[in-house]
Structure 1
């Protein structure tokens, strides 16, 4: 699994952090901060959920 974030699209809603706080965090300015671009396979469901609930589609997940 590979994760990419587009901070230019991020609106700082924090939904990604709620879904997978070991993979995503928020910087001081509220934008997404990717903590782990290649998390273990058992995190796939939560990471995909984070991408799905992102209101600005700032998260891309590929396998």
Structure 2
């Protein structure tokens, strides 16, 4: 539970800061294991995500 709280706070804040500071496209990856991680990353400015969680590989098909 503690890791989940950390991810919910740190992930969006970090993506926004990196994007604002460097003005570069961001590809999120690493701790992307749930649909909420994908949605959060994209809402915070990531242009895409990378994940080994196969259940998320088809996510784009229903959200184009």
TM-score by length of 1: 0.28
- Which structure shows the bigger proportion of residues in helix conformation? 2
- Which structure shows the bigger proportion of residues in strand conformation? 1
Q: Which structure's relative contact order is higher, taking Cα pairs within 8 Å and 6+ residues apart?
A: 1
In our comparison, the structure showing a higher alpha carbon Rg is 2
TM-score by length of 2: 0.28
